[in-house]
Amino acid sequence: MSGSALYETFARAPLAFERGEGSWLVTEKGDRYLDFAAGIAVNSLGHGHPHLVAALKDQAEKLWHVSNLYEIPGQRRLGERLVEATFADKVFFTNSGAEALECAIKTARRYQFVTGHPERFRVITFEGAFHGRTLATIAAGGQYKYLEGFGPKVDGFDQVPFDDIDAAEKAITPETAAILLEPLQGEGGIRSFPLQSLKRLRQLCDSRGLLLIFDEVQCGIGRTGKLFAHEWAGVTPDLMAIAKGIGGGFPMGACLATDEAARGMTAGVHGTTFGGNPLAMAVGNAVLDVVLEDGFLDDVNRKALLFKQGLASVADEYPDVIEDIRGDGLMLGIKCAMPNGTVNGALRDQHLLAVPAGDNVIRLLPPLTVTDADIHEGLKRLRSAAKGLSEAVAAAAK
């Protein structure tokens, strides 16, 4: 056996955490790290949130799993609450984002099938997209680095340049079923579709009989300051995949659909063993209790502004390190003026955790419960890292 017993698929940082408290992670040795990675936008309510801990413990004492052969009251309740809070009429629960996307893609194809268009199965996606690591979702994401060596790319996905709506229109063929996008790309480098583009895509789908699918796995559940990012544009999709933040750290996802879009999803055509199990549903309901509380999202918006302004001022001070600040709400990106891996390493040296993304960006995704003090502390650490990097650049130039 070479190295560890684990697949070598992750380039893991040499850090192991033992516990977490709010926006902080603590190693076995007691070193504290400010966690602005939040498990890649998963720990929406930080670590050890008392309401989530209580909900999980309470459910764990009662019942863990029964399968979808039976009614699961917590699932029914979470489904109803998601329907109440969104465009959707129907929900299918999954264990992950990729499975939520698979469900959305299958639902779109099935809709076309049952409405007399079995020839429509293709989905248009945008460059820089990330929709997961299953065979279909790597094809949807279209990134060579994730497709290479895994055999023929699953058929049915056509990609156009980021935010090129004219190209999307031209790419529509008689076989097109849907258009799929993240309103705010995460892995692609914190790139938002202009609100106008989302409106145009909605019109395009309506006029051509296509379904519009939003992937809000990363940007949903309050991340951008609204429950879902697309709400800023005032348009709604036909289908939406969510995951990450809805579980607050418990693995879960969901595909949300209008009644019309879900027409083809009749008994037996799709399924899951674990999706929507009582433990996940207890936590999902607890996350919604907090995120839907009066004033919670207003506070996210207030903190996001504070953070973004602070980031902009660090960027002004160190243009040789930071080119630009981008993103919405608490889904922010630093476009780096040097390799983002170097910047990420310098942040980690300051015990500030962040996540590299495409387009030479570092993502900052603090828990939505981050405090003002945590934000100031994060900015202080970022400034120290930027200062050190800037001095190193100056010294190298001499």
Residue ranges that bind ligand PLP, judged by CB under 6 A: 40, 96-98, 101, 130-132, 182, 186-187, 215, 217-218, 243
User: What whole-number distance in Å separates Cα of residue 347 and Cα of residue 341?
Assistant: 10
Task: Name the minimum Å distance from CB 218 to ligand PLP.
Answer: 4
Other Cβ atoms less than 10 A from the Cβ of 322: the count is: 24
- The least distance separating ligand PLP from the CB of residue 184, rounded to whole angstroms, comes to 9
Token digits for 329? 């709400």
Q: Which is nearer to ligand PLP, 98 or 221 (CB)?
A: 98
| Shortest distance, position 336 Cβ to ligand PLP, whole Å | 20
Give the nearer residue to ligand PLP in terms of CB position, either 98 or 297.
98
* Closest CB to ligand PLP among residues 96, 277: 96
Residue that has been written with the tokens 């973004």 in this structure: 308
Q: Which is nearer to ligand PLP, 225 or 251 (CB)?
A: 251
Pick the closer one to ligand PLP by CB: 95 or 390: 95
Q: Compare residues 137 and 350 and give the one whose CB is closer to ligand PLP.
A: 137
Strands 24-27 and 32-35: antiparallel
Q: C-beta of 381: minimal distance to ligand PLP in Å?
A: 24
Using CA atoms of 303, 308, 314, 317 in order, give the dihedral in degrees to the nearest 10.
-140
Question: Least distance (Å) from ligand PLP to the CB of residue 294?
Answer: 28
For every residue of the chain, which 3-state class applies, written as one string? CCCCCCCCCCCCCCCCEEEEEECEEEECCCCEEEECCHHHHCCCCCECCHHHHHHHHHHHHHCCCCCCCCCCHHHHHHHHHHHHHCCCCEEEEECCHHHHHHHHHHHHHHHHHHCCCCCCCEEEEECCCCCCCCHHHHHHHCCHHHHCCCCCCCCCEEEECCCCHHHHHHHCCCCEEEEEECCEECCCCCEECCHHHHHHHHHHHHHHCCEEEEECCCCCCCCCCCCCHHHHHCCCCCEEEECHHHHECECCEEEEECCCHHHHCCCCCCCCCCCCCHHHHHHHHHHHHHHCCCCHHHHHHHHHHHHHHHHHHHHHHCCCCEEEEEEECCEEEEEECCCHHHHHHHHHHCCEECEEECCCEEEECCCCCCCHHHHHHHHHHHHHHHHHHHHHHHHHHC
- Considering the complex, what minimum distance in angstroms separates the CB of residue 363 from ligand PLP? 10
Q: Which residue is nearest to ligand PLP (CB)?
A: 97
Of 98 and 330, which has the nearer Cβ to ligand PLP? Answer: 98
Task: Provide, rounded to whole angstroms, the least separation between the CB of residue 86 and ligand PLP.
Answer: 17
* Nearer of residues 131 and 381 to ligand PLP, judged by Cβ: 131
Query: In the complex, what is the shortest distance from the CB of residue 258 to ligand PLP, in angstroms, rounded to a whole number?
Result: 20
Of the two residues 17 and 146, which places its CB atom closer to ligand PLP in the complex? 146
| Shortest separation between residue 243's beta carbon and ligand PLP, angstroms | 5
Please report how close the Cβ of residue 251 comes to ligand PLP at its closest, in angstroms: 8
Beta bridge partners of 125: 159
Nearer to ligand PLP, 130 or 157 (CB): 130
